Structure 1
Amino acid sequence: MQSAPIDRRAIPPHAIESKWQAADGHQLRRIDWPGEDGGVRGSILFLPGRGDFYEKYLESLEQWHRDGWRVTAADWRGQAGSGRLGNDDTTGHVEDFADWVADLEHFWTEWVKTTPGPHVLAAHSMGGHIVMRALVDGAVSPDAVFLSAPMLGMSGPPLPLPMLHSVARVMTMVGEPTRPAWKWSEKPGEVPAHRRELLTHDDERYEDELWWREQRPELVMGPGSWGWVERAYASTRVIEADGAMEKVNVPVLIISTTNDKLVSHPAVRKAAQRLPKGELAEFGDESHHEILREVPAVRDKAMAAIREFLDRVVPAQK
């Protein structure tokens, strides 16, 4: 019997939206798909990227659920439905990426107690950076990890990381660290004209995001702050330190594209080589940054790579 089509513009009736409380009391948003009757394949925790929200990934989350996984996704502190940390409603700011790592550690510790294993940690873009930082810091211990276009380095001037970090540090000193680091559009809250060309070739999936922004205005976020940029570089230096990724003894699949204009594909490729159990599924011009929201030919290939990886490293129990 063929499964019903997945509606990317509706919360599935069996998925439950709720709030969870971080260690300091901050309220963050989450969504959970309970396991199917008759046994569960395991549990996947998925975390989105900068300025993202879990509604953008309903298609993938529902697909993993139909494959037998118990699925959870959550917003990061300071974006989407989890409040703001800056001086306005659209600029993405954080005091330190370590705060996000602490939130993930707190959530992970409670989540694994209430969900069946094996436990898989997954993320996109900035979420992938925070997951890698958490792995390097020893804050989480998943059975497997898969990352979509992780922000292990930012696309930009080909300058040494310490130099880029120094420039960003100066920018946090000459003005408010909470001010936007780049221009979003002429009109606050308006999506930039060329943004689509950075994210996906699939017009319909891109329009899904805009639809959710209209339906739930609290999800809208624009540029990151200079404080975010400086802390991103600082955290990248932690990840890139000698021996950091080499001690991550967990199977990690990284899905990336050489055509990415937002994160550094060379940094991703290097990370896959440094990780003791790292693997790389590489795309080219056929994919932009949001590989899990690409045209079917690309997305299906990425989802198949994830399925094959999980079946191999955390096989279903017979």
Structure 2
Amino acid sequence: MDDILLATPDNPVPDNHFAGYFEGRGGVKIRYAVFRSAAREAKGTVVLLQGRSESIEKYFETIADLTARGLWVATFDWRGQGGSERVLRDHRRGHVARFSDYEADLKQFLEQVVLPDTRLPFFLVAHSMGALVALSQAPELESRIDRMVLAAPFVALAGQVMSQRSISLIANAATLFQLGSRTFTKDAPGLPFEGNVLSSDRRRFDRNRAICEKHPQLAIGPPTARWLKEMLAAIARVSRQEHLTRIHIPTLVLCPTLDPIVPRTVLNALARKFRAGRLIEIDGARHELFSEADRYRAQAMAAIDAFIPGSQAEHASLGA
């Protein structure tokens, strides 16, 4: 079990955990881990959902912060990335056949790992693509998840050479002509800190890069046309008023204001339609809030502290 999770010198595996694999949709092997809090009485369990191209290892610091607060953490790598089974022969390509595969894997994780092996109540903290999956599944999660925190939810694809509409048209056409496993950009591992759109914190940026340099099997490259097609279709669906109205789980949306990938204007527009959601802006932060500089990351963690687990009075006031 010890080699399921992979450490680097400045990124040790948090103590008091168990890890393994469960079977996702279609028999895909999905890596997971559960981290127990040392607190005598657990406040509940956070289901932690990562973004595209990430792995459990990237969240060791955040996991340690959450368990120190008396929460257990249950997390897994999405199919096709991290320590989970890849779905293409070229393991560097970020691919998914259907967005619903991600949803099915989340459902399996909740049923096979979280419900039998962790502590109630259950909360969900998700970043970027993980937050998109959470938004999509939220109407069906009401009986299981008490509260959700969505950090920079992937509900737009900005900051690219082409517009989101153009990317969508090309991705749909490529998939239609059986080119869904192709990528639009070249694989460029090890991009420099200077000019990056993810984090202003060099130490955490270098730490995350070192994880993939020491354990290259965890890394993936650019997304495929099929991945883009599936994500953009899901973005369009979850952003509609009729979908957001069906979500009753009290939700906190964390908006990094200098995120070029998911602009604050998009998240503010989403929040105006999202009755169960409230938005907090982290002024000056970039896309990866949990890997940001302390002055930004501390604000995100403080917002989570104030929201999870929450009081019964707060639940009532939010219509939970």
Residue in structure 2 matched with residue 30 of structure 1 by the alignment: 32
C-alpha spacing 1:37/1:192, structure 2 compared with 1 (3 Å): closer
Q: Which amino acid aligns with 2:240?
A: A
Residue in structure 2 matched with residue 3 of structure 1 by the alignment: none
Does 273-282 or 38-47 show the bigger shift?
Answer: 273-282
| Distance of 1:115 and 1:175 partners within structure 2 | 42
2:116 to 108, 113, 116: 113
5+ residue gaps in structure 2? 1-8, 315-320
CA contact (8 A) 2:139 2:248 kept: no
5+ residue gaps in structure 1? 1-6
Residue in structure 1 matched with residue 168 of structure 2 by the alignment: 165
Residue in structure 1 matched with residue 295 of structure 2 by the alignment: 297
C-alpha spacing 1:66/1:214, structure 2 compared with 1 (3 Å): same
Does 98-107 or 147-156 show the bigger shift?
Answer: 147-156
| Distance of 2:252 and 2:280 partners within structure 1 | 7
Q: CA deviation at 1:74?
A: 0.7
| Distance of 1:196 and 1:14 partners within structure 2 | 37
Alignment partner of 1:146: what SS? Answer: strand
Residue in structure 2 matched with residue 4 of structure 1 by the alignment: none
Q: Say whether residues 1:153 and 2:156 are aligned partners.
A: yes
Alignment partner of 1:30: what SS? Answer: strand
Write the deviation string for residues 3-26 of structure 1: whole angstroms up to 9, x where unpaired.
Answer: xxxx85110232223212225332
RMSD over aligned CA atoms reads 2.5
C-alpha spacing 1:181/1:237, structure 2 compared with 1 (3 Å): same
1:13 to 12, 15, 19: 15
TM-score (norm 1): 0.88
1:129 to 118, 121, 132: 132
Q: CA deviation at 1:155?
A: 1.2
Write the deviation string for residues 110-158 of structure 1: whole angstroms up to 9, x where unpaired.
Answer: 3123322110011111111111111145587410000111101211479
Write the deviation string for residues 37-67 of structure 1: whole angstroms up to 9, x where unpaired.
Answer: 5210100010110001111111111110010
Q: Which amino acid aligns with 2:102?
A: W
Percent identity of the aligned residues? 25
Q: CA deviation at 1:310?
A: 1.4
Q: Say whether residues 1:183 and 2:186 are aligned partners.
A: yes
Does 265-274 or 248-257 show the bigger shift?
Answer: 265-274
| Distance of 2:59 and 2:312 partners within structure 1 | 23
Counting matched residue pairs gives 305
